Amino acid sequence: MNPKYEFADILKLYGQEFKQKENLPSYKLKVLQDIEYCRTSYFGGHVDKCNDCGHIHISYNSCRNRHCPKCNGLKKEKWIIERQQDLLPVKYFHVVFTLPHVLNSLILKYQKELYNLLFQTVWSVVKTFSEDEKHLGAKTGMTSVLHTWGKCLSFHPHLHCIVPGGGLDENGNWKETRTEGKFLFPVKAMSQVFRARFVSGLREFAKEENICLSKQLTDKLFEKEWVVYAKRSFKNPSSTIEYLGRYIHKIALSNHQIIDIENNEISFLQKNYKNGGKKEVVKLSANEFLRRFCLHILPHKFRKVRHYGFLSGRNKKKALEQARKSLNAEALPKVDSDWKTVLEKKYGVNPDSCPKCKKGKMKTIHELKRGQEYYPLE
């Protein structure tokens, strides 16, 4: 069911005023523009005609921006299908590494550099623990995705990581974790190493960029334990990919969460995890709503999803073959991930079928250029 309100509606009503007040970089302005004009004549499109009843249908192109609430459904399903090929018949764990709020202002100023440091630090921690004989003594892999939002669109950078419960030893044999699948590695120990290494990397970065880190800031970084949250293993490998697919293509706010736009105020739904995940209504002024949304627009061309260890691009094919051989497992058959196939299998929609007569097939009769509209004969 189509949502009653869309993020594009908010931009049409309040976007111009917001842009005049805020000094946004060009890449954020482009994101807002893409979302506002997604699936309009601005991006061009095509005209289709039914070969049976003659019905005319106009389709305008999507913006394909990763921050757009309209453009992630098919991408998610396509990603899930493609990643199924990488699955092993082992347990997988979901681990979340969170940066403390005291770093927020610094991260917002140096987003690309400190997000990169977060990815590098987290992988170094997972790699160290996996190669330690006390915990695993093998080389593992990891898929990680960056999220930057918390409750009410607040800034809350954290990394979601999916890690298999085992790895390849020096002879290429699969080795399971020593915890019988109950947990991956000790969370408290990972938290301490994570904090020490990130702060060390932060100090190096500050030195290179001639940034002064106050003693008050560095002291606060060691006042509390950093949050590393390890969830239980998934029921089966397939559910791992479904779960991660939702996280990877999730954005700060979906159109379905917006419930009202009135009197310069935006009302939207958010889950309150302190209240059992119950949905609650949050109200923000239009300017504050847009300001918070823009906090989560990632730097231009920044990779929010990364693969490490034996799941990295250059190592994956050979490593997965070794792991499957050791586990006596067959590779999963390849599945067509063409967008039309995905649309039909997942949503029950045949894009070639006439939406009016349901019998004929739609054929493209005209391509629309950017900004070009089509007016059929009445």
The strand pairing partners of 175, in sequence order, are 167
The model's confidence at residue 314, banded by pLDDT at 50, 70 and 90, is confident
d(CA 117, CA 98): 13
Q: What is residue 324's predicted lDDT score, i.e. its pLDDT?
A: 94
Q: What is residue 353's predicted lDDT score, i.e. its pLDDT?
A: 92
Lookup result for tokens 């990680």: 144
Q: What is residue 208's predicted lDDT score, i.e. its pLDDT?
A: 96
Tell me how many degrees the CA angle 338-86-229 measures, rounded to the nearest 5.
115
Q: What is the pTM of this model?
A: 0.91
Q: What is the pLDDT of residues 55-103, one digit of tens each?
A: 999 999 999 999 999 988 777 777 877 777 788 988 888 899 999 999 9
Q: What is residue 73's predicted lDDT score, i.e. its pLDDT?
A: 77
End-to-end, the C-alpha distance of the chain in Å comes to: 29
Burial environment of residue 314 by CB neighbours within 10 A (0 to 12, 13 to 18, 19 or more): exposed
Residues 6+ apart with CB under 8 A from 316: 86, 141, 307, 310
Q: What is residue 343's predicted lDDT score, i.e. its pLDDT?
A: 73
What share of residues in the chain are helix, strand, coil (percent, to 5)? 40, 20, 35
Q: What is the pLDDT of residues 103-150, one digit of tens each?
A: 999 999 999 999 999 999 999 999 999 999 999 999 999 999 999 999
Q: What is residue 378's predicted lDDT score, i.e. its pLDDT?
A: 52
CA-nearest of 90, 167, 170, 181 to 129 is: 167
Please report the DSSP string for 61-95 in residue order: PP---TT-TTSSHHHHHHHHHHHGGG--SS-EEEE
| Residue 268 and residue 282 in contact, taking contact as beta carbons nearer than 8 Å | yes
